[in-house]
Amino acid sequence: MSRVVGIDLGTTNSLVAYVKDGVPLVIRDRSGDALVPSVVSAAEDGTIYVGREAQRRLLTDAARTVYSVKRFMGKALADVQGEASLLPFRVGGPGDDAGGVVRIGLGAREFTPPEISAFILRDLKHRAEAFF
């Protein structure tokens, strides 16, 4: 039987839920957490971490860890240059052109905000699949 799930991709936290007998229920992870921090980290070996593990990496590898990525969606580099200088991760554009689309550098790789968000969405999808 197929199920319909709803995903809240939040700036700070995200979650996935479903409806049972007319009541929405949040799908929790094995440790009971309902919320997934909207944080993504890229290790030097290319491993991508999402959620709590990525949040922990903020302390040890902040330059490779991105948070609050939704604030960069649909914006040009010129729109975010002021706040970008305050962040530990690299924020730039194609060739660092001020008019280009925002790109976030995690180590040697660059991602767009939708690509970073896709890592979070994939994690939520896996959570729902494991639950059902």
Tell me which amino acid residue 56 is.
Answer: R
Q: Residue 36 has what pLDDT?
A: 96
Q: What are phi and psi of 33, to 5 degrees?
A: -75, 130
What are the tens digits of pLDDT across the range 8-28?
999 999 999 999 988 999 999
Q: pTM score, two decimals? A: 0.90
Q: How sure is the predictor about 64, in pLDDT bands with cuts at 50, 70 and 90?
A: very high
Pairing relation of β-strands 48-50 and 36-37?
unpaired
